[in-house]
Amino acid sequence: MNTQPFVLILLSAAQRLRLNDGTEVTTGFWAEELVVPWQILRKAGWRLQVVTPGGVPPLIDPESLDPSTLGGDHSRAAYLCNAVRQITGLRTPLDLDALTGKDLDTLIGVFIPGGNGPLMDLCQAPGVDRLLRHCVAAAKPIATLCHGTAALLATCGGADRSPFCGQRVTCFSAAEESATPLAGRWPYTLENRLRQEGFRVSTGAPWQSHIATDNFILSGQNPASAATLTHVFIERLTSTPTYKGNNMNADALKKMAAEAALRYIQPGMVVGVGTGSTTNFFIAALGAAKIHVDGYVASSIATENRLKAQGLNVLDLNATGDIPVYVDGADEADPHFRLIKGGGGALTREKIVASAARLFICIADVSKDKPMLGKFPLPVEVIPFARSFVARQLVKLGGSPTLRNGVTTDNGNVILDVTGLDLSDPLRMEESINAIPGVLDNGIFAHRRADVMLFGSADGVIERKA
């Protein structure tokens, strides 16, 4: 096997699902739950390897390609079918049981899509137990999607206690199971089985995106959660020791975009600087370039400290007039230059500085370039006193809010991360959320959009101007 770090895509090799009455139905992996993360991970530059128990080529659950399962969308069914065919690793997967110690050391994380297949094999395979315990010991992220969470059951029932016992996970819910053709025909629902084994199961509204995170285990409830789960998984991948010890290209793409922004910085300017991993590369580039600007306005205390560490002059926003240029990253960007920001928790100050700037330059790696916003959880900064009230109002807007534990913003507030919102009209949603009493601001940048997008890609910097 190639010694470059890779993400392992663990799929079921089961082909038949045995029901309570002794009959069997065809099973396998759920097409959308493989295609969506595969495409996002590949676009972000990650190397992927498919693995199954015994190295058996996996089957697609035929239900996942049935247009009736996809709301009658025949074009979506055809698209998924074609996308699966393009994943060549499905024809010759690695053998889970043949993975060597060196293979395990080289992998950087594991993603486990669902379908009913994992209920037959991944839930009890010794190779899965070995793989997952390795990831826990090495602090490597594990993402499970829908019925893929059944793989965690492979660590239960042995002499050693499951490392996931007591951790927060989600899976295809009992409510969702009850609405499927197999309702009542399978010996157990995954949600109930996980609870019996000591997992803390969190479920959201049926058929809506919902994810749960606990240390290095990340899980998504259903196919609608695939994109959000994958983006969170990518964030965790970049923080793993294996990633930091190797020259992966995600950081290289961020650095490329950040350095491209330097050409917009002229001597004598006041420059606004955002917050986040991509902006940190921009700050390092500013320190090396030594451009003689009048000063920098920071969007967070963390950015202020980084600027000062580079020997750069930091100005108070209240002591400046209009800012010629503001440079910041994004969690998502759409073709209309609208953004979702706030993964670093500085969204309110970022929006203030961006609004004070004449030119807003957004820098990001190309994985943040999206056809529309809404897959990444939307951060909402909330006064602590109003947290529960605001959460209830966000549910009324169609969202599923989760408190970002252990985070207090520079303004002394908390962050609610919201999934499931309809962002087909980002400006309207931005205004609706900000109208809720207790909300300071939210991470939709539709009123103050970017003016220039700089995406780092394998083909160089992609520049777009509004």
Task: Please report the pLDDT score of residue 245 as a whole number.
Answer: 45
Least confident of 16-25, 30-39, 241-250: 241-250
Q: Calculate the alpha carbon distances from 83 to 28, 33, 34, 87, 234 in Å.
A: 16, 12, 10, 7, 21
Least confident of 44-48, 201-205, 297-301: 44-48
- Of 108, 185, 119, which is closest to residue 152 (Cα–Cα)? 119
Task: Please report the pLDDT score of residue 3 as a whole number.
Answer: 53
Per-domain residue ranges of the chain? 6-244, 249-466
Q: 239: pLDDT confidence band, cut at 50, 70 and 90?
A: low
Q: 136: pLDDT confidence band, cut at 50, 70 and 90?
A: confident
Cα separation, 82 vs 128, whole angstroms: 29
Q: 379: pLDDT confidence band, cut at 50, 70 and 90?
A: very high
CB-neighbour burial class of residue 363 (10 A; exposed 0-12, middle 13-18, buried 19+):
buried
44 φ/ψ angles, rounded to the nearest 5 degrees: -80, 0
Strand-pair category, 295-298 with 270-273: parallel
Q: What are the residues facing 464 on neighbouring strands?
A: 453
Q: CATH number of 249-466: 3.40.50.1360, 3.40.50.620, 3.30.70.60, 3.30.420.40?
A: 3.40.50.1360
pLDDT above 60: residue 242: no
| Element housing 192 (H / E) | helix 190-196
Q: Do 6-244 and 249-466 come out as alike in CATH topology?
A: yes
Please tell me whether residue 130 adopts helix, strand or coil conformation. helix
Q: Residue 287, Cβ neighbours under 10 Å: how many?
A: 14
Q: Which token pair is 420?
A: 């499931």
What is the per-residue pLDDT across 156-211, written as a single tens digit (0 to 9) for each?
Answer: 876 677 888 888 999 999 999 998 888 788 778 899 999 998 899 999 999 998 99
pLDDT above 60: residue 396: yes
User: Binding site: which residues?
Assistant: 275-278, 328-331, 341-344, 368
Q: Which token pair is 346?
A: 């500085």
pTM recorded for the entire structure: 0.56
User: Binding site for substrate: which residues?
Assistant: 275-278, 328-331, 341-344, 368
Q: With contact defined as beta carbons under 8 Å apart, do 368 and 43 qualify?
A: no
Q: Which token pair is 334?
A: 């759409």
Q: CATH number of 6-244: 1.10.10.10, 3.40.50.880, 3.40.50.1970, 3.10.20.30?
A: 3.40.50.880
pLDDT above 80: residue 290: yes
304 included as an active-site residue? no
Q: 63, 332, 350, 430: which is the annotated catalytic residue?
A: 350
